[in-house]
């Protein structure tokens, strides 16, 4: 079964993340299949707009921590020490380029967010051109508390330095209305209205010639490229590898192996664990 599906629906190309049993968590295949679907849409002159969504209860809950954090031993995200930072960079940059296929797509991409678009899932959403979310959807990058740095670095380009710091210094999640207020998404709507709102917007853009849409997107994106987007992403991707191989990152991995990733994530997000000394934080 494909982990990302594609279908053409009139002038709209529909790309759907398709691992609903794990909230569309990212594994080694999903980024490659995502990029392949973007390529298919761009190759069809009849497709004017792409709508990106997630099957099941969420858009995307980030990387599959059952495999990457909870499993013991070496994997693509945590190497045995001493680690090779360039091996790590090559793997994560591959994923980065797959996510950025949305940003570099010649067709505008409207991302429909429900449930969660968190951690690596937020990387995917933020590489889209337009995000419309349900009011109860949650977005954030909690691994900035330990074991992560957003490799696409799109937070700062979306909402500016101070608001990006507000999100990444805390690892907080925000729901749709606050995400709209921050400028992280275009619009937040009641869950029952999400499908209709996305369809209305996509249909409106689908009436514009492909070449017009392409020129506007290239012009706007070039401004971001001129601001150093590629260099920022290179630094962010190297830093992401460091976070997973730092003493604190390795302690997080070991705790996830011992007690399961859900409890380790709960410790991380609630701020109840000292990852440097690998022990509970004593309340004052």
Domains held by the chain: number: 1
127 within 8 A of 103, measured Cβ to Cβ? yes
Q: Which is nearest to 148 in space by CA: 128, 129, 127, 121?
A: 121
Residue 153: which domain range? 4-194+202-280
Q: What is the CATH number of the domain that holds 38?
A: 3.90.226.10
Q: Is pLDDT above 70 for 50?
A: yes
Distance of alpha carbon 30 from alpha carbon 38, whole angstroms: 12
Distance of alpha carbon 114 from alpha carbon 83, whole angstroms: 37
pLDDT digits (tens, 9 = 90+) for 174-200: 999 999 999 999 999 999 999 999 999
Confidence band (pLDDT; 50, 70, 90) for 284?
low
Residue reference for tokens 């749709």? 176
48 within 8 A of 111, measured Cβ to Cβ? no
Separation of CA 81 from chain center: 27
pLDDT digits (tens, 9 = 90+) for 73-107: 778 899 999 999 999 999 999 999 999 999 999 99
Question: Read out DSSP for 165-226?
Answer: HHHHTTT-EEEHHHHHHHTSSSEEE-GGGHHHHHHHHHHHHHTS-HHHHHHHHHHHHHHHHH
pLDDT digits (tens, 9 = 90+) for 19-38: 999 999 999 999 999 999 99
Confidence band (pLDDT; 50, 70, 90) for 283?
low
């Amino acid at each position: 079964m494909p982990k990302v599906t594609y279908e053409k629906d009139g002038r709209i190309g529909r790309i759907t993340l398709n691992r609903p049993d794990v909230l569309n968590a990212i594994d080694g295949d999903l980024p490659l299949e995502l990029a392949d679907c973007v390529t298919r849409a761009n190759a069809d002159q009849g497709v004017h707009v792409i709508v990106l969504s997630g099957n099941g209860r969420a858009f995307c809950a980030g990387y599959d921590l059952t495999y990457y954090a909870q499993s013991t031993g070496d994997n693509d995200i945590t190497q045995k020490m001493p680690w090779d930072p360039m091996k790590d960079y090559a793997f994560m940059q591959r994923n980065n380029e797959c996510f950025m296929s949305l940003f570099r797509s010649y067709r505008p991409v409207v991302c429909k967010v429900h449930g969660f678009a968190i951690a690596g899932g937020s990387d995917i959403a933020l590489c889209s051109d337009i995000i419309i979310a349900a009011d109860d959807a949650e977005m954030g990058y909690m691994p900035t508390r330990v074991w992560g740095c957003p490799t696409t670095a799109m937070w700062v380009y979306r909402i500016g330095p101070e608001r990006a710091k507000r999100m990444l210094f805390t690892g907080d999640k925000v729901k749709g209305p606050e995400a709209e207020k921050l400028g992280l998404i275009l619009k937040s709507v009641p869950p029952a209205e999400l499908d209709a709102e996305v369809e209305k917007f996509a249909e409106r853009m689908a009436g514009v010639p492909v070449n017009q849409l392409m020129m506007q997107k290239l012009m706007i994106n070039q401004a971001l490229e001129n601001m150093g987007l590629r260099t920022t992403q290179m630094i962010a991707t190297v830093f992401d590898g460091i976070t997973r191989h730092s003493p604190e990152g390795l302690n997080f991995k070991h705790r996830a192996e011992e007690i399961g990733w859900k409890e380790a994530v709960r410790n991380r997000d609630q701020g109840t664990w000292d990852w440097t000394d690998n022990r509970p934080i004593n309340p004052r």
